[in-house]
Amino acid sequence: MRTAVLLTVFNRPQTTARVFAAIRAARPPRLYVAADGARDAADVESCAAARHAATQVDWPCELRTLFRERNLGCRSAVSEALSWFFAQEAQGIVLEDDCLPSASFFGYCEELLARYADDERVMSIGGSNFQDGRVRGAASYFATKHFHCWGWASWRRAWAQYDGALASVGETLEAGLAALRDGSSAFPRYWMQIYRDCLAGRYSSWAYPMSLTCFARAGTGRETLHIAPQVNLVANIGFDALGTHVSAQDRNSAMRAAEISLPLVHPEHLVRDVDADRYTDRFHFRIGWVPLLKARMMRVLAP
């Protein structure tokens, strides 16, 4: 393996140790570990344990750390860690402390980082697949409009476009969402509400601004793609009481990480899979479910 890895951690030493074990097996030449500070006295011990679990490097590897003394929160801690990482690396792989990758995830990322390094359309390489076993095309992966953060890889050139404060996103966001709606009037409404909630401070998320940045980029007329594997390569093991944006009841808590065959089979042309995106909109983000359920209830209750 030749690619650097960024691991972001907080106060979950058990999940951190499992993710670190997967990284250790891959043996990256450089490992960056970024840790947010404790929120209060109750966090101090678990934060220290997570930092310890993430830094037990016993292979030829340069270890670099960014350990915060105060708590920044998920949005600032992770986005600043990513800026720190990409300031030093032209490309790299990113894992959070609850995103457990399969062994082939690293080779998958490396191969695609090299292949699409100069393709300005491609903003990220994701490790998640939310197609519930549906195969999209004959290649090992497909292109999507969605950024997925549960184990991913990217380039400095892509992260440089991140607008965490959403300062300029509003100028082209509506046009981008309209271009990517895929026949759904609910899609723009859903993401415009996310945008408004982010501006109002209702979400401590760095990933929503990344998605919105990419959607707004599409509104400038620039094709914007992300890559998703044909099989799910990362299991989110953080569906418990400590999870920031997840719960144990989430349907994705049962997703397991599979292996993908290497070297990869590449598509002749990288084109967004609209059917896959419609499926993700409908069954992962649940876009359009509330009106549909309301309509069904009205039919049932109608005299």
pLDDT at 279 over 60: yes
- 261 closest CA partner among 230, 228, 234: 230
pLDDT band at residue 185, thresholds of 50, 70 and 90?
A: very high
Which distant-in-sequence residues (6+ apart) come within 8 Å of 47 by Cβ? 10, 11, 35, 36, 37, 38
User: Are 45 and 12 spatial neighbours (Cβ–Cβ below 8 Å)?
Assistant: no
Give the model confidence (pLDDT) of 9-46 as tens digits.
Answer: 999 999 999 999 999 999 999 999 999 999 999 999 99
pLDDT at 249 over 70: no
Q: Which amino acid is at 122?
A: V
Give the model confidence (pLDDT) of 95-144 as tens digits.
Answer: 999 999 999 999 999 999 999 999 999 999 999 999 999 999 999 999 99
In the chain, where are the structural domains located? 1-97, 98-303
Mean pLDDT, to the nearest integer, of 201-211?
Answer: 95
CA distances from 187 to 182, 222, 271, 286 (A): 8, 19, 20, 10
Mean pLDDT, to the nearest integer, of 281-289?
Answer: 90
**Which residue reads 């501006």 in tokens?**
199
Mean pLDDT, to the nearest integer, of 62-76?
Answer: 97
Q: How far apart are CA 164 and CA 206, in angstroms?
A: 7
**Which CATH fold topology does 1-97 show?**
Rossmann fold (3.40.50)
Residue 92: half-sphere exposure toward Cβ, Cα within 13 Å: 24
Mean pLDDT, to the nearest integer, of 207-232?
Answer: 97
pLDDT at 298 over 90: no
CATH of domain 98-303: 3.90.550
pLDDT band at residue 160, thresholds of 50, 70 and 90?
A: very high
Give the model confidence (pLDDT) of 81-90 as tens digits.
Answer: 999 999 999 9
pLDDT at 246 over 60: no
